[in-house]
Every structure is written in C-alpha cells, then in structure tokens.
C-alpha cells in the first residue's frame, strides 16, 4: 500500500492509454466469486481502470508488472476511484499451468465456510480454543466429505500448516 502504480490498457477503445495511482490495499475480497466459492486476492488501486483496461498490466515505477487489471467497484459502469488487479504471482500460476499442461486445475475441498473468521467468542461456543476455519457444510461425495469432514468441524491445519483464517484456507 502506498506504492505508485500505472494501469495500462485501452479504456473505451482509446488504445495504449495509461493512468497513474497508488496501491490502496492488498488482499481485497470484493465478492465477484462469492457465489461460486472462488478465492479472491485483489490489489486495490486508485489508478483509473475502465472498461477496456481489463487484462492490461498494472506496473510499478520500475515498469515491473505487479498485477493484471481486472475489475472496478462502480455504480455507473465507469471508474469511480476503485480499481482491482489480480496479483502477478496468481496470474503466473495460471499461465504456467496453461503452458505446461494446456488447462488450469484448482484445488477443491467441497465445503462451505463461515463468512467470518473464528473469534474467541465463537471458538468458546464450540468448546474450542485457538484459530481455525469453521465448516458450515460439506458437499456429499466431494473431497472433504470423503475425508470425514462434517458441518461444525473446525479446520486448524492443512499439511502441517496452521489455518488461521478463511482467506488462508
């Protein structure tokens, strides 16, 4: 946050355009993929991103690509000060899979999680101390169900790594 960035693209058909702004926040969830249970981790910027900028690079002052312009928060379908970019490391994971195997494969647990992270009050209501992710439901026949994960379970670790929040899981 605070770093100067440039958003490149072709807003409204104006080719080879660039706007300047700063990184306002990282790790933003904006609800685009919420209904499908998708993972969101956007870079928020005030650099102008409009229709036609999507897919263009978001760069730092050294010309290094830090993200791919993706979406805006708007009530009018045009820039209102909030733009979002996919971090370049996420983009590169997809690119590497497409080049390597011709398709993209993502992990899938088959659970619905609580929308809020477990705080001390919620943890104590389950007779639990610590951090984890509350499972609201496990889809029958999906990987979590087959592994014995059920509604009300709290996932605390995966492959030895502690799970402290929904975003981390």
pLDDT in tens, the chain (169 residues): 999 999 999 888 889 899 999 999 898 777 666 555 566 788 999 998 888 888 899 999 999 999 999 887 766 766 667 889 999 999 999 999 999 999 988 777 888 887 778 877 888 888 888 888 889 899 999 999 999 999 989 988 888 888 888 777 7
Measured CA to CA, the distance from residue 48 to residue 34 in angstroms comes to 25
What pLDDT sits at residue 2?
A: 94
Measured CA to CA, the distance from residue 127 to residue 115 in angstroms comes to 20
What pLDDT sits at residue 35?
A: 57
Helices (H), the chain: 88-101, 120-125, 143-146
Cα–Cα distances (Å) from 163 to 119, 130, 143, 157, in that order, read 13, 10, 18, 5
pTM beyond 0.85: the answer is no
What pLDDT sits at residue 146?
A: 94
What pLDDT sits at residue 63?
A: 96
Measured CA to CA, the distance from residue 161 to residue 110 in angstroms comes to 20
């Amino acid at each position: 946050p605070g770093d100067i960035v440039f958003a490149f693209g072709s807003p409204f058909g104006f080719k080879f355009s660039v706007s300047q702004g700063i990184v306002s926040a990282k790790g933003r969830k904006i609800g685009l993929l919420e209904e499908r249970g998708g993972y969101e981790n956007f870079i928020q910027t005030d650099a102008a991103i409009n229709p036609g900028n999507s897919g263009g690079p978001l760069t730092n002052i050294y010309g290094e690509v830090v993200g791919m312009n993706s979406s805006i928060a708007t009530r009018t379908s045009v820039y209102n000060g909030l733009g979002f970019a996919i971090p370049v490391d996420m983009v590169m994971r997809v690119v590497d899979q497409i080049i390597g195997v011709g398709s993209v494969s993502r992990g899938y647990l088959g659970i619905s999680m609580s929308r809020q992270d477990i705080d001390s009050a919620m943890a104590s209501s389950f007779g639990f101390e610590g951090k984890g992710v509350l499972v609201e439901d496990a889809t029958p026949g999906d990987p979590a169900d087959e592994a014995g994960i059920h509604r009300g379970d709290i996932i605390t670790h995966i492959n030895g790594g502690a799970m402290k929040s929904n975003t981390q899981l």
